[in-house]
Amino acid sequence: MHPILEELKDLLGDKGFIPGDEAVEFTTDVAGTTASCLAVLRPASTQEVAQVVALCAAHNVAVIPQGGNTNVCGMTLPQVGQDSVLINMSRMNQIREVDAACSTISAEAGCTIGALQAAATAKDRIFAPDWGARGTAQVGGAVATNGGGQNVFRYGTTREQVLGMEVVLPDGQIWDAMRTIRKDNSGYDMKQMFIGSEGTLGIITKLVFKLHPAQPVSNSMMAVLNDQRHLMDYLNLAKEIAGDKLVAFELLNGLGVEKALERYPDLKRPFDTRADWYILVRLAGASSVDDTLATIFEQGFEKEYLSDAVMAQSLEQERNLWEIREQMIPFQYFPNHLQCKWDVSVPLTNITAFLEQAEQIAHRHHPEAISYAVGHVGDGNIHYCIFIERAPGIDLTELEQTYLAEIDALIWSYGGSIVAEHGVGAAYAKRMRQQKSEVEYAMMQNIKALFDPQGIMNPGKLLE
């Protein structure tokens, strides 16, 4: 047994210590990949986190912070051949204060996104981060990955919501910066280092976020796009008509919609038309948004951007539309296929061209390739996948390398990113390096070395 384990158990007690061989639920990621670690630790306070990290530093044991374990890039999988512990933050789940007057909320990092949303709603405010994993993903994880989701178009990414934080550094020191102020030009903004750092620089233990005024009324429409090339025209039309009432503008591929409806029989088909591309639009405001949504709806037909559409007539119908979107998680539908995936962002005006060219590349190398795209088009972000069925005689390794090289190059030719939203983790670390100039990559390495000279924080993630 590793000598650190007895000390950790004494420190955290039974509630805070799970031996590695009993922790499969924590060491398996959303795609079902599993790795082993010495133990999963569940500290209940910042002081406990600090003591654990100091102990790990003394024993040179790697530390992997873990929130809700909903990441999709192998971010919390221990590295093979390295002694490591997972520090799961779920016991640090107290909301400390909702200040409606200042429009701020402070909470421990292990609170779920859904818990902060509910606490904000109770005070007529909005906590902006929102996506399908809201019931499980934690605010510490959301900040460590700079999560995006459905509200980015209106409120920005998680980064833009953060005002203050408390962090345990890799040597066990506690940095308390639980500030609530909105302006502070007193030098380097150190909290930005930890936002999107994927647990490689320290463990976020508490956070202060901005809240926004409540938008209690919302409504959504789903529409059939006549031609993919009308995508930007329709987005611009919706922006002009709705202004800041426009909260989300999503692109859904026909295959994904069919798969979601097939797999989840409780979901209702919005209309009879089956098409290659759909748009899902949500407006929100302090009072009814129905007239504005109706104008977007009608003008879409007048300008021949749309060929069919439905405006939700009840909250239940609106939820149904968004549930279809949230169930369009591609890997669950193609278990017997090779999946090549990209989390693409390109300038808004290049989205259509990117989709057309990516599909051509997919079919050029394998006529049966499935090209799959769904995403937050309003933010220029598309989750794009190519699936190839595993069949005898097909060299999937070679195809995968070809697809990765050609689609990555296509994204970069538009000045885009292959990791727009979900982050880098282990899955993209090698490819992400090629996206950076040598100067930029060296700056990142230097920052890592400055915070974590021992290299114990989530090794193998983000940086190669």
Ligand X SMILES: Cc1cc2nc3c(=O)[nH]c(=O)nc-3n(C[C@H](O)[C@H](O)[C@H](O)COP(=O)(O)OP(=O)(O)OC[C@H]3O[C@@H](n4cnc5c(N)ncnc54)[C@H](O)[C@@H]3O)c2cc1C
Judged by CB under 6 A, which of 108, 198, 250, 452 binds ligand X?
A: 198
Stretch that binds ligand X, among 60-68, 300-308, 366-374, 403-411 (CB under 6 A): 60-68
Q: How are beta strands 62-66 and 306-311 bridged, if at all?
A: unpaired
Q: Is residue 345 near ligand X by the rule CB under 6 A?
A: no
Cα–Cα nearest to 388, from 402, 370, 361: 370
Report, in Å, the least distance between residue 179 CB and ligand X: 18
Report whether 328 contacts 257 (CB < 8 A).
yes
Q: What is the sign, positive or negative, of the torsion defined by CA atoms of 356, 360, 366, 367? A: positive
Distance separating alpha carbons of residues 310 and 223, to the nearest angstrom: 6
Stretch that binds ligand X, among 130-138, 243-251, 398-406, 428-436 (CB under 6 A): 130-138
* Partners of residue 337 on adjacent β-strands: 389
Number of residues near ligand X (by CB under 6 A): 36
Binding pattern for the stretch 417-436 against ligand X, x by CB under 6 A and - elsewhere? ----xx--------------
* Partners of residue 249 on adjacent β-strands: 281
Q: Which is nearer to ligand X, 207 or 306 (CB)?
A: 207
Q: Which is nearer to ligand X, 300 or 423 (CB)?
A: 423
For residue 156, give the 3-state DSSP assignment: coil
Return the residue nearest ligand X (CB atom).
141
Q: Which is nearer to ligand X, 292 or 327 (CB)?
A: 327
Q: Is residue 64 near ligand X by the rule CB under 6 A?
A: yes
Distance separating alpha carbons of residues 165 and 195, to the nearest angstrom: 10
Cα–Cα nearest to 358, from 348, 347, 349, 369: 369
Report, in Å, the least distance between residue 368 CB and ligand X: 27
348 token code pair: 């808004």
Q: Is residue 74 near ligand X by the rule CB under 6 A?
A: no
Judged by CB under 6 A, which of 27, 46, 71, 104 binds ligand X?
A: 71
Q: Is residue 30 near ligand X by the rule CB under 6 A?
A: yes
DSSP 388-437: EE--TT--HHHHHHHHHHHHHHHHHHTT-BSBSSS--TTTSHHHHHHHS-
Judged by CB under 6 A, which of 142, 195, 208, 418 binds ligand X?
A: 142
Residues that bind ligand X (CB under 6 A): 30, 64-72, 75-76, 89, 109, 131-133, 137-138, 140-142, 144-145, 147-149, 198-199, 203-204, 329, 421-422, 458, 461
